[in-house]
Amino acid sequence: MKTAAAPVILNKRSRRNTRWNLFIASLIFVFGSASIFLSLFDKNETDFFLEFRFMTMNGTIFTTLISLIILIVCFIELKQNRAVVSDRLYYFRLSSAVTEIIIAVVIAMSFLPAVPDSPNIFTFASFTMHVILPVLTVISFLINKTPVPHLHPVRRFNCSWLITLYAVTVISMITAGLIPQEKIPYSFLDFQHSPVWYVVYFGCFIYSLTYVMSYFLTDGNSRIATLWHEQEKPAGSERS
């Protein structure tokens, strides 16, 4: 990770913002680690590997790792009294926030009357993954004090990093027979029994939804940073 060529010195307001980021990232890391452990090791041996076919599990692991990076960055910032400015970290945080929102939306939709079997989210691991982590991750992103200035519309698609990686991995596993037909996690990934239009529709819907959420998240972050007077940087500073 490269830092800014002209480091931004933290003022009193910036240090307070950093402490809030540190606190929320700590909560995400603790809750995420606990929910992953309970979900993986509260299963019998045959279910362990297949647990990774779900977007929820992969998203939680990704978000937990990103929170660990944020923790380290916040400690560095407080110790050196300088902001660490990185586009890569910003996009990772954006991808994590968008993914967590999708996880929350999917679980909320599963309780619609049209869905016959709603999952039980009232366990610690499930409630943490589907409710607590999405809320904390969105808050963590919105209060990020170093948004990317003048974000190009195309760059908002960086929010789909994890979703694309997940789709490629799971589709490859289904094609290779590593995930049995009866264990395919979502109906639109069941290519043998779902019509092409259904698969394409959901693909377009998911990516459209991620883009819209990316727009509102980045715009919200930029507005909050402006209110906190955190966009002021020395002339000539660059992001990595």
pLDDT of residue 181: 78
pLDDT of residue 137: 96
Q: Please answer whether residues 92 and 160 qualify as being in contact, where contact means their C-beta atoms are separated by less than 8 angstroms.
A: no
Rounded Cα gap, residues 229 and 31, in angstroms: 31
Residue 2 predicted with pLDDT over 50: no
Rounded Cα gap, residues 86 and 234, in angstroms: 16
Q: 5 pLDDT band (50/70/90 cuts)?
A: very low
Residue 58: name the closest of 36, 41, 28 by CA: 36
Mean pLDDT of 212-230: 85
Residue 107 CA: distances (Å) to CA of 98, 127, 232: 14, 10, 39
Residue 109 predicted with pLDDT over 80: no
Of 107-116, 129-138, 217-226, minimum mean pLDDT range:
107-116
For residue 191 the two structure tokens come to 């290519």
Residue 6 predicted with pLDDT over 60: no
Mean pLDDT of 186-203: 81
pTM: 0.82
Domain extent for 25: 8-227
3-state secondary structure of 4: coil
Rounded Cα gap, residues 222 and 148, in angstroms: 8
pLDDT of residue 118: 57
Q: Please answer whether residues 220 and 142 qualify as being in contact, where contact means their C-beta atoms are separated by less than 8 angstroms.
A: yes
Average pLDDT, the chain: 81
Residue 93: name the closest of 27, 134, 137, 150 by CA: 137
- Give domain status of residue 22, yes or no: yes
Mean pLDDT of 209-237: 76
Residue 231 predicted with pLDDT over 60: no
- Give domain status of residue 232, yes or no: no
- Give domain status of residue 240, yes or no: no
- Give domain status of residue 36, yes or no: yes
- Give domain status of residue 41, yes or no: yes
- Give domain status of residue 203, yes or no: yes
- Give domain status of residue 97, yes or no: yes
> Residue 9: enclosing H or E segment and its boundaries?
strand 8-9
pLDDT of residue 45: 47
Residue 4: name the closest of 164, 203, 234, 239 by CA: 239
The number of distinct structural domains making up the chain is 1
Rounded Cα gap, residues 119 and 104, in angstroms: 13
Rounded Cα gap, residues 103 and 239, in angstroms: 30
- Give domain status of residue 79, yes or no: yes
Rounded Cα gap, residues 190 and 35, in angstroms: 28
Q: 30 pLDDT band (50/70/90 cuts)?
A: very high
pLDDT of residue 141: 95
pLDDT of residue 3: 43
**What percent of the chain has pLDDT above 70?**
83
